[in-house]
Structure 1
Amino acid sequence: MFIKAFLLADSRFEFTNINCTSYEKRIAEFEYCYLKSINRSYKYLSGKLKVYEIPLPNMKVNFVLWKRLNGYKPFLYNVTVDLCKFLATPKSSPVVKFVYESYVTFSNFNHSCPFNNDLYVEKLPVDFMNHRLTKILPFPEGDYLFEFLWFRSRSVIGSAKIYCTVS
């Protein structure tokens, strides 16, 4: 009886906030970064990074997953990858590959280095993320923060913090 009830339980993923910050505005700057709620069932995330120094080589990305437990604490993953090497061989980092596959369909990140244009994620729907984070890789209930930091030559260019909840 308990096992049957456990298997029928359904989780729900929801975006709660997003915060994008540009640190090196001479290199790149966020043009926009927001969540949009169309109605109760359709919400999406969009963001665009305007790149001023083209091409943009030697990028590293740090992905950190945080869980809210009396403040946000590191949870499971803190991974840094060389972006160009990762795009050449995505299997080199399974965690980053899962995250990358979660948004690449809704972005222009689907090509190899160097990046010669602005970078964007457009209308990433909460339903798509709900499927990935409750069915494909089930997350425990709680509040989470997905943090992305972009580095070039050891200096932080920008960061994106995506807050969400699984209930």
Structure 2
Amino acid sequence: MYQVPVAAMKIYSRLEFTNINCTSMDPKVGEFDYCYLKSVNRSYKYFSARYKLYVLPVKAIRINFSLWKRYNGYKPFLYNVTFDACKYLRNINSNRVIKFFYESVAGFSNVNHTCPYNHDIIMEKLPTDFVNQRVTEILQFPEGDYLVELRWIRFGNLSAMFRLYGTLS
């Protein structure tokens, strides 16, 4: 009987987006124009969102980033960080956790410069495969159902909440 050496064995994981929820908490500050998951075929799925800002320019915004894992309901998992987004964008290397997740979306978003923002916030066609490579090869997460939640806090009030659900198997 032939045995495969342990060093030659590879385990493959796969991330799949399962749901997205975008909620505008303060319609005077801004609203989501669209927010959806699109499945082009069995292997290509992406999400897109556009947050239309009504109070411009944006010179200060805080973001609460949290990662949740489903056990018996969603429970906090590893990260729950609140940071000043404008300050962070001036020095991207100031927080490694935020940098990892920022780099996962920056190439598909127009949030790639420092404040002030005089335009809508757009995330266009972030593919599952790109995020999959980051959470299975670069920073390996255990299998399970996950929720990434972003809360945008402006003028001390919650103005928008973004939730992206996914399954890592």
Instruction: Please say whether Structure 1 and Structure 2 have the same fold, judged by a TM-score greater than 0.5.
Output: yes
- Cα distance change of structure 1 residues 144 and 2 upon mapping to structure 2, 3 Å threshold: farther
Of residues 61, 79, 82 in structure 2, which corresponds to 1:80?
82
Give the Cα separation in 2 of the matches to 1:125 and 1:8.
Answer: 24
TM-score (norm 1): 0.96
Q: Structure 1 segments of 4 or more deviating over 3 A? A: 1-5
- Partner SS state of residue 143, structure 1: strand
Of residues 110, 114, 117 in structure 1, which corresponds to 2:116?
114
Aligned length: 166
Give the Cα separation in 2 of the matches to 1:128 and 1:99.
Answer: 12
Shift of 1:2: 7.5
Equivalent in the alignment of 1:139: 141
- Cα distance change of structure 1 residues 83 and 40 upon mapping to structure 2, 3 Å threshold: same
Q: CA RMSD in A?
A: 1.2
- Partner SS state of residue 150, structure 1: strand
Give the Cα separation in 2 of the matches to 1:23 and 1:78.
Answer: 20
Equivalent in the alignment of 1:93: 95
For structure 2, list consecutive stretches of 5 or more residues without a partner in the other structure. none
Work out which of the two has the higher radius of gyration on C-alpha atoms and give 1 or 2.
2
Equivalent in the alignment of 2:45: 43
Percent of aligned pairs sharing the same letter: 55
TM-score (norm 2): 0.95
- Partner SS state of residue 8, structure 1: coil
Opposite residue 126 of structure 2, the aligned amino acid is L
Give the Cα separation in 2 of the matches to 1:3 and 1:161.
Answer: 38
Of residues 25, 28, 32 in structure 1, which corresponds to 2:27?
25
Shift of 1:154: 1.9
